[in-house]
Structure 1
Amino acid sequence: MSSSVSIAAEWDLLSDRFYRRLTLYSPLPWSTPAAAGATSSSSGVSGAVIGRLDLSTHIVAAAPFGGPIAAVRDDSKIVQLHSEPSRRRVLLFSSSGHPIASAPWPPLLPRLHSLGFSSSLSLLALLSDGSLLRFRLPDLQPSPCSSPVPLLPPASGGVADALFWGGGVAILTEDNRVVVATDIEVDDPHPRHLADPGIGDEEHVLCMAVVEAQFVMSGSPEVLLAVGDRVIAVDEDGVQVLGEELEIGPVQKMAVSPNGKLLAAFAHDGRLLVIPTDFSRIIFEYECESALPPEQIAWCGLDSVLVYWPEVLLMVGPNGDPVQYNYDEPIKLIPECDGVRILSNSSMEFLHRVSDSTTSIFGIGSMSPAALLYDARDHYDRQSAKAYDNYQLISSSLPEAIEACIDAAGHEFDVSRQRTLLRAATYGLAFCSRFPHERFQEMCKMLRVLNAVRDPEIGMPLTIHQYKLLTTSVLIGRLINANQHLLALRISEYLNLNPEVVIMHWACEKITASTTLPDTVLLDGLLDKLRLCKGISYAAVAAHADNSGRRRLAAMLVDHESQSSKQIPLLLSIDEQDKALSKAIESGDTDLVYLVLFHIWQKVAVEKKAPLDFFGVINARPVARDLFMAYARHSKHEELKDFFLSTGRLQDAAFLLLKESWELEKNPMASKGSPLHGPQVRLIEQAHRLFAETKEHVFESKASEEHAKLLRHMLGWAWRRRPKMQPHKLKIVMSYLAA
């Protein structure tokens, strides 16, 4: 059990719980002398000078769930020019310190106040005037909005303090008003002004904290402001003064727990207090040796609080003596749901509570079934008979011991220790048929995925708890957004997930990056990968090619789309009307045919072309022609008549004119002008002239001619008799003529 003792010796006891500080990555690439001239060409962004990163001279933000690190030099700090580029840059690193991207900081902007990440890993920069600038990852290009989006009214005076969280940003203005924006993902966010906290001109807000909307009954975020001897809770509905009866005094720093129920507060007299967010009581307090306000305060899970002063990091729990860590360089605390990442200039560490299963196995003097099973495997590997003796001691609780070994393996970052714990579990599985083997297989799959993303080249140090909360689909989304398509594809295939989203994203990025590659060569490379996924949307990739200015490539890609409903709209958008009409006719879907016909007709009208162009297209295709005729007979008589005339179908145009005259005769009051030259007479005469031009319709020509003459004669007689006829008789005559 000596190995167990050495493992437990690395732990720190806080109250009745053990904590350990793991070194995830050390040294970080930016801490080495060679990093001063490094570029991010390995990550696909050429020519971006990274340089060494000093946390003391940069504004730094880190995304949760092992996310990337962003930094911009703080222009309020004095730096040596020979160690820093003269022009500020936005730097993006993985958690392992590997450079991802670098871009020049946009010029002529107000001073940068703070950085943050949204839940979808967009980098957000809040400027001193209250405007928000968003950068797209991983290339750090500005968002489609070329200029920062203002979140504050001009008269607010600018930003006094601000806090980012995954769902938004809370801003305290210079005139002591609170503004919250929860839709920071969109190009045009709509900030909301919370209730006026009523802070006087002589009062100052010492610190602020945010209780996220998911932890508030009203469903909107609540902002806590420490003002003088009181704490004010501000939301959209009003203002509430909290904890007046507790007399905690001025609060210098505050931090809300991950579950939104507790608040850690550092008071002016050096006390660290843990209070419910409703300030009903003080749960516990600790007298710190220094009354100076700490630089940072953060929760480590739900059981302890970290307080950081320069060179000293103090971990305080509900009982017992605190644990102190010393640092000779600046650090940044990055809270996670189950611990805290500690970023320094030279390393990335993770401080978290040791799991119960790990404690039961590696705890000093532990005689738990899991510890005996782990020891039994060790004896078995050394071919010692004590292995069977240990098995006999735990035979009744073998399932619990196996589960503890599997669970402990999931909480380990060291691969060799994972393997040892899983081997101990397999030793127990050999004697326990009632334990579900799927549990072991599931853990092996999760560990393979976690070990892959923890690799320094990827730099996502997820714990198993974070992985379960993040979900596999979100993890794959983060990998492809970081251009780690190969790893994302392998994880998808390993977990039997649909790789379509990975291949689609890769294809779009390939099109964007391959600006000099010929279309035919690029098409072959794309098809090799797109064929790996059945049912993939070629139309979506073609649409991206069209948006990237490669219309010929889009036309070649869309030929491989099997779904006509996706293929035809894209063909229309890339100005391939003839091909779209042919594909629509082949599909047998009349709705798609009509879609193409309407599109072509509208384009002819917009471009003010002659209708003959449209008629020529449809006349060569019987299906399209018949559908157009069926539609035009109900609502587009003029267009149908023009079509008949332009295609030489004079008899059809003549019959259409007769039909119009019959419809018009049903309402003789609709005639305008002289009855001798009424519209119905003119229509019949036009039909007569068209019939006369064809040899096959002599009868129709003669009949329409006689009809027009008779109608003229009777209308003329009725008109001449009009002064002598009584009104009711005139009405009878007109009705007769109309019939």
Structure 2
Amino acid sequence: MAAVSVAAEWQLLYNRYYRKPEIYPMQWKHVDLSRNKVACAPFGGPIAVIRDDSKIVQLYAESALRKLRIFNSAGVQISETVWKNPGGRLIGMSWTDDQILVFVTQDGTVYQYNIHSELIEPNLSMGKECFDHSVVECVFWGNGLVCINEANQLFCIPDFKNPKPCKLADPNLEEFPLCAAVIEPQYTMSGNVEVLLGVDDHVLLVEEDGVQQVGIGVGPLQKMVVSRNGKLLASFTHDGRLLVMSTDFSKIIFEYSCESALPPEQLAWCGMDSVLLYWDDMLLMVGPYGDPVRYVYDEPIMLIPECDGVRILSNTSMEFLQRVPDSTVSIFKIGSTLPAALLYDALDHFDRRSAKADENLRLIHSSLPEAVEACIDAAGHEFDVSRQRTLLRAASYGQAFSSHFQRDRFQEMCKTLRVLNAVRNYDIGIPLSIQQYKLLTPSVLVGRLINAHQHVVALRISEYLGMNQEVVIMHWACAKITASLAIPDVTLLEILLDKLKICKSISYAAVAAHADKSGRRKLAAMLVEHEPRSSKQVPLLLSIGEEDTALTKATESGDTDLVYLVLFNIWQKRPPLELFGMIQARTLARDLFISYARCCKHDFLTDFFLSTGQLQEVSFLLWKESWELAKNPMASKGSPLHGPRIKLIEKAQSLFVETKEHTFESKAAEEHAKLLRIQHDLEVATKQAIFVDSSISDTIRTCIVLGNHRAAMKVRTEFKVSEKRWYWLKVFALATIRDWDALEKFSKEKRPPIGYRPFVESCIDADEKGEALKYIPKLADPRERAEAYARIGMAKEAADAASQAKDGELLGRLKLSFAQNAAASSIFDTLRDRLSFQGVS
């Protein structure tokens, strides 16, 4: 009996069965589809209802205010708002793939609302041409929109995720098109939307960069609708024929002559197998073969195409018209003797304790796995829970006698049906079929549930399917903060923490950011304390003005990037002294600040050291700054930049004086300033940039080379240069300018404190052997004399001096230096032999 009653509800279209079960009796009251504009979202989505202002209607007891109301698919109201109609008459409304409700008004303004009837700013405009020439018609698809204005121009928003209106090619029409349809970008060769316009006896295909004429002779067409896969076009002609063609118009798949030439109010695809036409009281389902199926309605309906059928909305009910799945046909078709039907029948006999159950099982023993699979599949396609249960019991009964069936399949179906039954509940009102659920995916379903604030169901589904619950908890927390303005911060914090602890990886910082955005800064500060990740915690603390806490957390983390982030943030917002006070006790922050400022911000660093009493550090900074000033390319030839340099060094010296432990630095700074001043004066006098930043010795040497002996003596006196150093400098300076007379005169002023060796070396280095001979005899040490003679190539004199020194080792070295001279080598050998004979080594 059960099988007969199930199949009795089906209608046969050629060789395919269709069924139209009622999913919900609608829960709403006083909603008349004929008096309203209605937009229904696919995948069991919400229904938007707004009074149709193009019709004269009696208001009954309802308010004169025009309201936008949003219901779930069971007619349970989710939200409402007053529609103020600011942009003229409402032309079109539809839901996007992301369940955003889009309105297009006469002036080309596009309004977007979420499922809670909240306006999403900013509004969009289709452009000036739509404002000047009113919008007349709109065609929507998944995430896009095409509208046509009075000037027969087409404008498009290809994707509401990145809403940039663009104008399509001008079709140059004198009259408004009879009908319009859209081929979605995902199904076109170009990847751009293609618009089909019914014009006269043909169709115009309009793209962004061109218009072409197609389907010549098929029209005039009154209605057009493209199939879900973009390959077929169903159309209704002026003479009452239904034409189904390929979208490239290369062939007509089939045609059907209707009884009326009056175009249907609605034309829709039912999956890919049939087309629905709806007139005032009749719904006609036409397939490629066989007689059509007629359904009669005594109230207005609305067709909502789905991937596997059509939902039919009326004032009182929500139905789902779909092709009966093959697995369901195999079980419930009247007279079916297929294995699945026999297995289902066997369960019935088993429940009645009939021996026929065993007989049925023996008949289908070899086909038992296929029968079990069919029962599981059929259960998935059922909306009736008791029938799901019976089919699954039949599958389970068959499984007990089959060892070859994959048992995971049964568990997966049970899981899927539990999820589907949960969301099909009246309060949730999402009547997904199993095919729609698989196409939509569980993650998107959970996303839609949380957007509808069905957080409990979303959390249970996420937990049940092993999905990440963090998204649900986060959204719930943010929604709770927004909706709980009257609850004190401390109380709300406890409520939030109780749920947030469910997920270990939850971002407390993100929830705190939402609290701050909602104007609850104290709550945000308390929440962010629970964020374990400093990288998320610190930026948020800064955004809510908790700089001191942020600096503490950043330094505790040891992350130098975070510390710098806080430092720069405070630097921009607060006076320097406050920054200095905050970092003084925090070693890491202080050291990083000093390190950065030492490279880039000397002024700030100077202020910091002064504020903390570190005078010696200021002194070193000033001294370094003076050297940086020296690198300026303008600091040459008596440059006025030397003045500020000298002042910086003098200032550094005065600060060193105040710190008793830096006596050496104080003296060094004083002498540096004095030397710079002298060098600056010398550069001004000589007009040569050769003095500044040279040493005292180089300054003296340069003065002598330039012949300015008075200046050299002044530098010597100022810096108390020792007599030995003075002699060394003057000897080599005179040799550099080859003033041999002055050098000789200088050697005779008095006995040189450095001896005559520097005189000899300076002459030899200048390759003046004759001048060197003036001083070699005056060398007191015979070894020095021997080496000096050897350097100027006088072998005999070198040998004599070496023999006086009685140094055999020296004789050996000198012999090597005269290796090319046989006579000289002989002299050294003779002397070495003599020394050896005398016992002198």
Is the TM-score greater than 0.5?
Answer: yes
- Structure 2 runs not aligned, ≥5 long: 699-841
Q: Is the 8 A contact 1:118 1:185 kept in 2?
A: no
Residue aligning to 1:627 = 592
- Within 5 Å, give how 1:306-705 maps onto structure 2: 306-604=276-574, 609=575, 611-666=576-631, 669-670=634-635, 675=640, 678-705=643-670
Q: Is the 8 A contact 1:672 1:679 kept in 2?
A: no
2:241 paired with 1:242: no
2:104 paired with 1:126: yes
2:147 paired with 1:171: yes
Per-residue Cα deviation, 1:389-442 (whole angstroms, up to 9, x for no partner): 111111111111111000000000000100010011011100111111000000
Structure 1 CA distance for aligned equivalents of residues 598 and 458 of structure 2: 56
Higher RCO by CA contacts (8 Å cutoff, separation 6 or greater) = 1
Residue aligning to 2:186 = 214
Per-residue Cα deviation, 1:213-242 (whole angstroms, up to 9, x for no partner): 111111111110001111111112311211
2:230 paired with 1:256: no
Q: Is the 8 A contact 1:229 1:250 kept in 2?
A: yes
Q: Is the 8 A contact 2:181 2:226 kept in 1?
A: yes
Structure 2 CA distance for aligned equivalents of residues 306 and 154 of structure 1: 33
- Within 5 Å, give how 1:6-155 maps onto structure 2: 6-26=5-25, 28-30=26-28, 35=29, 52-138=30-116, 140-145=117-122, 147=123, 149-151=125-127, 153-154=129-130
**SS at 2:403 equivalent:** coil
Alpha-carbon shift at residue 174 of structure 1 (Å) = 1.1
2:152 paired with 1:180: no
Alpha-carbon shift at residue 249 of structure 1 (Å) = 2.5
Per-residue Cα deviation, 1:263-290 (whole angstroms, up to 9, x for no partner): 1110011111111101111111111001
Residue aligning to 1:47 = none
Structure 1 CA distance for aligned equivalents of residues 445 and 628 of structure 2: 67
Name the aligned partner's letter for residue 241 of structure 1: Q
Alpha-carbon shift at residue 155 of structure 1 (Å) = 6.3
Q: Is the 8 A contact 2:638 2:683 kept in 1?
A: no
Q: Is the 8 A contact 2:109 2:126 kept in 1?
A: yes
Q: Is the 8 A contact 1:114 1:125 kept in 2?
A: yes
- Structure 1 runs not aligned, ≥5 long: 36-51, 723-729
Q: Is the 8 A contact 1:156 1:175 kept in 2?
A: no
Structure 1 CA distance for aligned equivalents of residues 132 and 632 of structure 2: 70
**SS at 2:21 equivalent:** strand
Q: Is the 8 A contact 1:88 1:104 kept in 2?
A: yes
Structure 2 CA distance for aligned equivalents of residues 595 and 475 of structure 1: 39
Call closer, same or farther: CA 1:24–1:673 in 2, change over 3 Å. farther
Q: Is the 8 A contact 1:313 1:327 kept in 2?
A: yes
Call closer, same or farther: CA 1:296–1:675 in 2, change over 3 Å. closer
**SS at 1:124 equivalent:** strand
Q: Is the 8 A contact 1:675 1:715 kept in 2?
A: no
Structure 1 CA distance for aligned equivalents of residues 87 and 376 of structure 2: 53
**SS at 1:205 equivalent:** coil
Name the aligned partner's letter for residue 425 of structure 2: D
Q: Is the 8 A contact 1:168 1:180 kept in 2?
A: yes
Alpha-carbon shift at residue 483 of structure 1 (Å) = 0.8
Name the aligned partner's letter for residue 646 of structure 1: S
Per-residue Cα deviation, 1:475-503 (whole angstroms, up to 9, x for no partner): 00100111110011111111111111111
Alpha-carbon shift at residue 148 of structure 1 (Å) = 5.2
Name the aligned partner's letter for residue 110 of structure 1: G
**SS at 1:132 equivalent:** strand
Name the aligned partner's letter for residue 220 of structure 1: N
Alpha-carbon shift at residue 736 of structure 1 (Å) = 3.4
Call closer, same or farther: CA 1:676–1:274 in 2, change over 3 Å. closer
Alignment equivalent of 1:232, drawn from 195, 204, 207: 204
Q: Is the 8 A contact 1:671 1:678 kept in 2?
A: no
Residue aligning to 1:46 = none
Q: Is the 8 A contact 2:87 2:109 kept in 1?
A: no
Per-residue Cα deviation, 1:566-608 (whole angstroms, up to 9, x for no partner): 000000000001111110111111111111111111223xxxx
Per-residue Cα deviation, 1:296-345 (whole angstroms, up to 9, x for no partner): 00000000000000001000011111010111111111111111111111
Per-residue Cα deviation, 1:128-158 (whole angstroms, up to 9, x for no partner): 12210111222x111122x553445256511
TM-score by length of 1: 0.92
Name the aligned partner's letter for residue 231 of structure 1: V
Instruction: Indicate the percent of aligned positions where both proteins have the same amino acid.
Output: 62
Structure 2 CA distance for aligned equivalents of residues 291 and 67 of structure 1: 34
Structure 2 CA distance for aligned equivalents of residues 436 and 121 of structure 1: 38
**SS at 1:678 equivalent:** helix
Alpha-carbon shift at residue 695 of structure 1 (Å) = 1.8
Structure 1 CA distance for aligned equivalents of residues 20 and 278 of structure 2: 15
**SS at 2:340 equivalent:** helix
Call closer, same or farther: CA 1:150–1:238 in 2, change over 3 Å. closer
Structure 1 CA distance for aligned equivalents of residues 128 and 101 of structure 2: 19
Residue aligning to 2:678 = 713
Name the aligned partner's letter for residue 122 of structure 1: I
**Structure in which a larger fraction of residues adopt helix:** 2
Alpha-carbon shift at residue 701 of structure 1 (Å) = 1.6
**SS at 2:278 equivalent:** strand
Task: Give the greater-gyration-radius structure (CA).
Answer: 2
2:681 paired with 1:736: no
TM-score by length of 2: 0.81
Structure 2 CA distance for aligned equivalents of residues 126 and 672 of structure 1: 76
Structure 1 CA distance for aligned equivalents of residues 83 and 638 of structure 2: 75
Structure 1 CA distance for aligned equivalents of residues 637 and 81 of structure 2: 73
Residue aligning to 1:40 = none
Q: Is the 8 A contact 2:184 2:192 kept in 1?
A: yes
- RMSD (Å), alpha carbons: 1.7
Aligned length: 697
Alpha-carbon shift at residue 713 of structure 1 (Å) = 2.5
Call closer, same or farther: CA 1:691–1:195 in 2, change over 3 Å. same
Name the aligned partner's letter for residue 171 of structure 1: C
**SS at 1:732 equivalent:** coil
| Mean Cα deviation higher: 691-700 or 421-430 | 691-700
Q: Is the 8 A contact 2:31 2:315 kept in 1?
A: yes
Residue aligning to 1:725 = none
**SS at 1:96 equivalent:** coil
**SS at 2:524 equivalent:** helix
Structure 2 CA distance for aligned equivalents of residues 442 and 603 of structure 1: 58
2:134 paired with 1:158: yes
Name the aligned partner's letter for residue 191 of structure 1: P
Call closer, same or farther: CA 1:351–1:154 in 2, change over 3 Å. closer
**SS at 1:736 equivalent:** coil
Residue aligning to 2:708 = none
Q: Is the 8 A contact 1:152 1:179 kept in 2?
A: no
